[in-house]
Amino acid sequence: MTKSNLPSEELRSYCLSLVEIKALRIFNVIECRSFLFLPVFMTVSDEIAVFTCLNEQELAEVEKIIRRKLKLIRQVSKEELFDLIDYVYSKLGLKLETAKTEKPQISHPVIPELLASKEGELLKNLLEYQVSNSISDLYFVPLKSGVEVSIKTAMNTTSKSTELLSEEAYSKILNILKVLSNLNFATSAPYLEGSFRLTLFGNQYSFRVSIVSTLHGKTTTIRQLSRSEMLDLTELTPIKSQIGILLELLKQPGKLKFIAGPMGSGKTTLLYAVLKQFAKTNFVITIEDPPEIDLEEICQIPVRKDFDYACALKAVLRHNPDHIALGELRDSQTLKTAEQACALGHSILATIHAGDLVAFRTRIEALSGNWDLLKPNITCVVFTRLYPKICQKCRIVDLKNSELENKTLFTSPGCERCSFTGVVGKILIFEIYSGGSSFQLEGLSFKEQCASLARKGLIRIA
């Protein structure tokens, strides 16, 4: 790759002298950074003249994705390119704003076109199926003979497609996903992670994408993230008495509060729902890796390689927020900083990987080493669980079990609404322990909550 010899200022003014608003308007900054080029002007043959750090071959790959002809007019280094993109767009940003009134600017001009392709349609159909059936994960697994598409159902079982996807179609879907998630598709990195938002059925949904190289190609997981408007505590948990206890403990000033649970138990969902509630009257800052849901009312800080949890936490203390939330507590330095922050009267909420009190203590001891010193600083620990929700359309009284338990219990044979699985969506419940000399259960235990939910016909007792 040839590195430009021009000093930055000179390169900037040279680039600026060539740039036409018309070309800039075709892409936004995020797209330029993801495609690794800067559109400069339109040639007479309607090609987009670009500054880029890609070579001709890589540029040809980009052309296929954006379905536009590109003309390399200047090769620059990646650092120079990013500098130029920021410089040119900020310099001409004002003109772009005014240009809006003449012609509406489309934020992602390439995406609707991509989704209109055959593979784009297929991906959209799969995502629509995923959101309408509350499916958490959608997988693409490359096998020797083709690519298998499968889903993780609400019952945590995997259901596989009967037909395999061709490698060619899958490679196109991968490219679309990379564009949607602003991932660098020219990279040969063995692991890529990103997220995107898409409007389906008139609502906006968020997805997280993870792509990993395997023996037979790249395997992809698309996880559906909870939507901001779904983060209503009363919607998430049908046991209202628990909500009052939870909020009362979590909103106490100072000290550490934990939301704990195994992987996929709804810790982050509960954390977000609580923060959303707090943000109505309080200043809330979160530090996350990365923020899973974009919440307008909350100030969310993503951690980076050079700005980790501990660094970010130190920095936000100066802002004096009412509540600071940590996406996940997983290193001793962060725990130490959090302890110091609590000593200064700050309220810290953190999620942590631990299924019960014993596991929680083990985790904390592994991080801090001194349980007795830390314990007085913990206001509460909340454990979360997710249960598949019985399909309300096909549910029936479970005569066999009802006789056994001498109570009305329900089951669901399956219908079209629940894709014959008998369940639709999930119910989040939590068990709350307040801190002090020993941890004390506040409110109902998981067992009591499950029994109550089963009697209401919301979940099944296994």
Cβ proximity to Zn ion: between 177 and 418 the closer is 418
Quick one: three-class SS letters along 292-322? CCCCCCCEEEECECCECHHHHHHHHHCCCCC
Cβ proximity to Zn ion: between 185 and 387 the closer is 387
- CA distances 409 to 430, 435, 453, Å, are 22, 35, 10
Cβ proximity to Zn ion: between 102 and 416 the closer is 416
Q: Burial of 211 by CB count in 10 Å (0-12 exposed, 13-18 middle, 19+ buried)?
A: buried
- Tokens, residue 67: 């379905």
Cβ proximity to Zn ion: between 169 and 415 the closer is 415
Cβ proximity to Zn ion: between 15 and 418 the closer is 418
Q: Which residues bind Zn ion (CB under 5 A)?
A: 391, 393-394, 415, 417-418
Q: How far is CA 319 from the centre of its chain?
A: 25
- In the complex, minimum distance from the CB of residue 151 to Zn ion, in angstroms, rounded to a whole number: 17
- In the complex, minimum distance from the CB of residue 396 to Zn ion, in angstroms, rounded to a whole number: 10
- In the complex, minimum distance from the CB of residue 131 to Zn ion, in angstroms, rounded to a whole number: 17
Residue nearest to Zn ion (CB): 391
- In the complex, minimum distance from the CB of residue 420 to Zn ion, in angstroms, rounded to a whole number: 7
Tell how strand 378-390 and strand 256-261 pair up.
Answer: parallel
- In the complex, minimum distance from the CB of residue 460 to Zn ion, in angstroms, rounded to a whole number: 13
Cβ proximity to Zn ion: between 231 and 418 the closer is 418
Which residue's structure tokens are 């040119």?
Answer: 88
First to last CA, the chain: 62
- In the complex, minimum distance from the CB of residue 398 to Zn ion, in angstroms, rounded to a whole number: 14
Phi, psi of 176, rounded to the nearest 5 degrees: -65, -45
- In the complex, minimum distance from the CB of residue 388 to Zn ion, in angstroms, rounded to a whole number: 12
Closest CA to 214 of 158, 165, 141, 147: 141
Cβ proximity to Zn ion: between 415 and 461 the closer is 415
Q: Which amino acid is at 58?
A: E
- In the complex, minimum distance from the CB of residue 392 to Zn ion, in angstroms, rounded to a whole number: 8
Which residue's structure tokens are 């950074």?
Answer: 33
- In the complex, minimum distance from the CB of residue 400 to Zn ion, in angstroms, rounded to a whole number: 19
Q: What distance in Å separates the CA atoms of residue 418 and residue 424, rounded to the nearest whole number?
A: 6
Contact assessment for residue 298 and residue 277, using Cβ atoms and an 8 Å cutoff = no
Q: What distance in Å separates the CA atoms of residue 12 and residue 83, rounded to the nearest whole number?
A: 8
- CA distances 47 to 41, 50, 170, Å, are 8, 9, 28
- CA distances 292 to 131, 205, 258, 287, 300, Å, are 17, 12, 18, 11, 10
Q: Which residues of 244-275 are buried (b: 16+ CB within 10 A; e: fewer)?
A: ebbeebbbeeebbbbbbbeeebbbbbbbbbbb
Cβ proximity to Zn ion: between 156 and 252 the closer is 156
Cβ proximity to Zn ion: between 241 and 392 the closer is 392
